Structure 1
Amino acid sequence: MDKKLIPGLALLVGAGLLFASVVAYAVLLEVVLWNALLGVLGLGLVIVGVVSLRREMGSIFRQRRAEVSLFTLGLVGIYISVGYFSLVYPLRFDMTEAGLHSLSGQTTKMLQRLERPVHIVFFHSHQMKETVELYELFAKESDNVTVEFYDPALNPAQARLHGIRFPGTAVMMSEERRREVNGDGEADIANGILRISQGA
């Protein structure tokens, strides 16, 4: 392999790794060790590539300054647009075979048949991300289900108002009825919603 190609390859591979790290962070919304290492490795390769190619890149930028600037602005515009639309119109696809990140067909049918509105106040800790997402799925599936989220450590007044002392408890209300649900599984939540809506 020609030694002149190595800095260019380092730059391309580094940019790819850096981009993969940013995308992984955008999907996971948390810093994971492998993701951070991927980002650091990508940034290191980009720096090595840019330093090695600074003379060649300098002449390219001088000759084609307008083209490079427009291309860069276009890419930045595309990234900003994709990020904006992903926030405004969040799409979620469950690609697991067992459907781990979607509601079962039985639960979906039950939610579509709800006749009375059910309001849920769920008290959670920062470690209960999956349960919060599960409650959000219930709210998205039916217009008759609304959910509020509170951390009792950060909102002690709301916890006292509802008589809750510990995270992991949901208060379900429908008309004049009130019910507490402590389970964090789909079946527990669905049973709570069904019972409170039927007055059981």
Structure 2
Amino acid sequence: MSIFKKIKEKVTPPNVRLTIELRKPFFILGDNIDGVLQLESKEEFDCTEIRCELECIERVRRIRRIYDATLKREIEQQVWESTTLFSTRPRLIGAMHIPEGFIQSLPFKIPIPPGAQPSFKSLDRIVAWNLKGVVAVEGRPDATSRTIELQVVHPSQVPKPVVPTVTCKYCGTAYPENEVKCPNCGAPRMV
């Protein structure tokens, strides 16, 4: 193996295509993120693990007063501060040898804490949930999938399906259309 090939291996991640497929377009606090990490290798290498990384990051815009030496006075400057509110790295597979042409679909289920922050964007505050797949390789940069920003909402923000109702012609009670008789008076449903 030439010295240039060895140097190239040290600074480039393995040639692997990683894609994440999710079962739903949005998720509820306290729910699970269900999906599949698909891996397709285009080179042979050894990995230490294959995992998913889920992070909830809050970014807040602040006004800071800093001293400007050229103006010889303090000026206000806008800065964005970020904090990681939640982070988890569930392992899907441990150490293994991956041959060239290797294709694998790895299902995953990651719980979202019920007390966490939902996704949020405003002029001065952003709460973002990010998910990516990682193939960790010792001695080389890790191969990663595209980072997906998830929509995580409060349970009350989830749109509930509207159930069509029927009004009982005897007692006036509204009840779901799929019931055969009135739950209040027991009269059969009239079509």
| Structure showing greater Rg | 2
Structure ranking higher on relative contact order (CA contacts 8 Å, 6+ apart): 2
Return the structure number with greater strand share: 2
TM-score normalised by length of structure 1: 0.21
TM-score normalised by length of structure 2: 0.22
